[in-house]
Amino acid sequence: MPPPVTPNNKRPRAAKSAEKPPPFTPTPSAIGLMTNARTPTYSTGDIDGASPPPERRVEAGHANATLITPGGTQVQPSFSNFEEPSPSRPTANGINTGSLLETACNHLLTVDPSLKSLIEKHHCRVFSPEGLSEEIDPFRSLSSGIMAQQVSGAAASSIKKKFINLFPAEQCPSGFPPPALVAQQTIPRLREAGLSQRKAEYIQGMASQFASDDLTASFLLDAPDEEVMKKLVAVRGLGAWSVEMFMCFALKRMDVFSTGDLGVQRGMAAYVGKDVKKLKAKGGGKWKYMSEKDMLETAEKFRPYRSLFMWYMWRIEEVDTTAVEDNA
């Protein structure tokens, strides 16, 4: 809030300062730590390169990432051909990793052809064949997200490195300590990485849930979006926004939509024709470019690809989400 202005009857008012700019999007620069995307293990044609990622089916209502279990096993999405479709779990027959992005973009254009120039200008790597080939370690991703809360990107990276170094490398085959190992550590030991008391408790508690199979890779792969959201926001240390970003950028779920992200709010306000530079927080309270109701109503027609629509709403106002997509 701006500093209080002294009444005129006491002394002349100081020269009016420049209007306070709106807050930046809450998207922290360190959220790239959540994605844990490994360097692709394939090439685009080098004679000595590895094979390209195999084509596999993808579906809008499920995770489309390949996940790594606490034991280091690679688990790919698998969808039954006999599954009954429902409005809350749309099917995507015939869509695979090579065609998902094109299919989703075509859907956006069918709904609103005016998005064509925006889509042509910006390539969404997240849902491209390259992005869908990345392997994701859910425990590492979610732990990294907790480490990054309310600190700079540089500080989050430093904490993450110190955290990893707390554990013997031979016990961390994936490069990150497995949940069972973390769950066994004391809070004072975890705090040696630079974690606060509360963050250390959050990560240790979540590690216990992964180690006990209360949270599993198979659940994160196959459960409907609503169930994954409900399960993860119940984990201490994870809020709705953190879970939404994890579901979109790590799990590669196609129908995630965040109304709490200021960058999305700002982009959507511009999308519907508002002059975002003239919008102000009402009553001096929390800044909001667009109401949640209006955002949901506008985004509804872009189902089941609201994740991609959200990504393009960031692009409208050039909100920097590079770190969200960067490899950890």
Shared-domain flag, residues 237 and 139: yes
Supply the pLDDT for residue 310.
97
Shared-domain flag, residues 237 and 190: yes
- Tell me, yes or no, whether 165 lies in a domain: yes
- Tell me, yes or no, whether 60 lies in a domain: no
3-state secondary structure of 135: strand
Contacts of 135 (CB under 8 A, 6+ apart): 37, 38, 65, 66, 67, 68, 74
Query: Active-site residue among 46, 112, 261, 294?
Result: 261
Shared-domain flag, residues 277 and 313: yes
Shared-domain flag, residues 125 and 264: yes
Shared-domain flag, residues 144 and 214: yes
Query: Domains in the chain: how many in total?
Result: 2
Instruction: Please state, in angstroms and rounded to a whole number, the distance separating the CA atoms of residues 251 and 98.
Output: 17
- Tell me, yes or no, whether 5 lies in a domain: no
Question: What is the CATH classification number for the domain harbouring 142?
Answer: 1.10.340.30
Shared-domain flag, residues 233 and 312: no
Shared-domain flag, residues 149 and 240: yes
Supply the pLDDT for residue 286.
57
Contacts of 6 (CB under 8 A, 6+ apart): 13
- Helices and strands, number each (H, E), in the chain: 15, 3
Last residue of a domain, one of 204, 223, 250: 250
- Tell me, yes or no, whether 234 lies in a domain: yes
Last residue of a domain, one of 250, 270, 298: 250
Active site residue 261: yes
Question: What is the CATH classification number for the domain harbouring 303?
Answer: 1.10.1670
Shared-domain flag, residues 227 and 162: yes
**pLDDT tens per residue, range 218-268:** 999 999 999 999 999 999 999 999 999 999 999 999 999 999 888 899 999
**pLDDT tens per residue, range 109-126:** 999 999 999 999 999 999
Residue ranges, the chain, pLDDT below 70? 1-54, 78-94, 279-287, 319-328
What's the domain range around 212? 29-35+135-250
- Tell me, yes or no, whether 211 lies in a domain: yes
Shared-domain flag, residues 301 and 154: no
